Amino acid sequence: MISYILIDGENFAHKIVSVLVMQKVIRDRQKLKRIEVGQLFDKDIFENSIKNYYATIIRLPKRNHPLYKKVEEIRAWNHFWVPYIANQNINYIKAGYLRIRDGKKCIKCGAKTEVLSEKGVDVRMAVDIVNLARKNTRIFVVSSDTDLVPAIIAAKQRSAEVIYVAFKDQEVKLLEKTASKTIFIKNSQVKKAYKEANK
């Protein structure tokens, strides 16, 4: 049996931060520099799987752009995060871009504010899910992106077992329903993995 763990990087980091902030372990994303990813999975699964972490390429806008500082913060955070992930025998895959796009209109004034949006990671993950799928293959999908549902269905049609890896109390019902089965990362595991990496 060949196993793959496919991690939607931004989604994963957001979920980790959410859990750690809720537990009052950290205040914000900038405090998350390291985490022992293997502590979030069964040891045998993690050690015997090919692991891919999908993330965006970050392009800085012009210095005078209102979101320049936010993008620079994300880029600086990645400077610490990326090598730490890669040093855990996890393939770091650049897939897509972090882009600035128009947000929703304000109901009161009609003005639009620009927001940051990730483009391309879900497409690359979906392609890999389908391409890796075959009999005697397990694919662990760590993402809450429902755009992956068609790829999960296609992978199951190719006789692969697709396991949705959800953070406890943050699971997406459509992914649970579509996957072969669901396993959960508990809040206590996240806290332990953070503490282990930050001794």
Structural domains in the chain? 2-197 (3.40.50.1010)
CB 23 within 8 A of CB 158: no
Nearest to 3 by CA among 72, 37, 51, 68: 51
Q: Which residues of 100-128 are buried (b: 16+ CB within 10 A; e: fewer)?
A: beeeeeeeeeeeeeeebebebbbebbbeb
CA dist., res. 109 & res. 62, Å (int): 27
Q: In what order do the strands lie in the sheet with 2-8?
A: 112-119, 91-105, 49-58, 2-8, 137-142, 161-167, 181-185
Q: What is the mean pLDDT of residues 77-90?
A: 90
Of 58-62, 91-95, 123-127, 174-178, where does mean pLDDT reach its minimum?
58-62
- For residue 190, give the amino acid letter: V
Nearest to 29 by CA among 94, 78, 62: 78
pLDDT band for position 176 (50/70/90)? very high
pLDDT over 90 percentage in the chain: 63
Q: What is the pLDDT at residue 187? A: 95
184 vs 114 pLDDT, higher one: 184
Per-residue pLDDT at 117 exceeds 80: no
Q: What is the pLDDT at residue 102? A: 58
